[in-house]
Amino acid sequence: MIEEPKKQSFDFQKGEVLLFNKPFEWTSFNLVNSVRHLVKHHTGIKKIKVGHAGTLDPLATGLLIICTGKFTKKIDEYQGLEKEYTGTFTLGKTTPSFDLETEINQSFPTNHLTDLLIKETAKTFIGEIEQTPPVFSAIKIDGKRAYLYARKKEEVVIKSKIVKISEFEITAIEMPVVYFRIVCSKGTYIRSLANDFGIKIESGAYLSSLTRTRIGNFRLEDSLEINDFKETLIKLKNTSVS
């Protein structure tokens, strides 16, 4: 818990850009709603615009930019910034969602895999690549989120798109777990990258952990936990009263 507020005051209606570390299993909207509630409760503001600049899946953690007031107009600008992630792929198995949201559905041999093959395969993804988003995603198809079709096991066609991978570094290998760092463009699905990686190494892979560490020049180490933000607002409120 922080000991002193990082700011002496906030002007949430004029606009603030807030950096948060999204908790595991929270949706991005869970965090937005919590921030909105805390701002209303501790400032007395009855109506305030609050939005996030780039969704993180519930099973991912890390940097989420939240804008308030007039700064919500900057959301599109922040969404377009380059992003950095760290995390793990688990090799030799796949899941329908390409991560741990769903159960393992297939297993594949891994005895042919070597550290060199894994690292060299990562290099082949650097640059502009064609990628198909997961069916378990929030992409809209005919006005309906894709994951709603997927959960009902209804078949849908999702169009592929071009994304850019600027850096893809394998930072450690502890079979069957591979640790990575990726720098990529807006709209890149690391879950899809995990699945495509498994196909390319002639095995399987799914995303087993993910943390967003950077968005443009905004960094995770400069972010707040939601409880820290609450304590900051309490201290600022008490200071203004005393």
Active site positions, annotated: 57
Cβ atoms of residues 184 and 85 within 8 Å: yes
50: nearest Cα among 65, 72, 29, 73: 72
- CA atoms in the 13 A half-sphere facing the CB of 161: 13
Instruction: Give the DSSP H or E segment for 206.
Output: strand 205-215
Cβ atoms of residues 69 and 14 within 8 Å: yes
Location of structure tokens 């780039």: 54
Cβ atoms of residues 56 and 188 within 8 Å: no
Q: Which residues have a Cβ under 8 Å from the Cβ of 218 and sit 6 or more positions away?
A: 19, 63, 65, 78, 81
Identity of the residue numbered 148 = L
Cβ atoms of residues 199 and 121 within 8 Å: no
SS3 179: strand
Whole-angstrom Cα distance, residue 134 to residue 149? 12
169: nearest Cα among 121, 112, 99: 121
SS3 221: helix
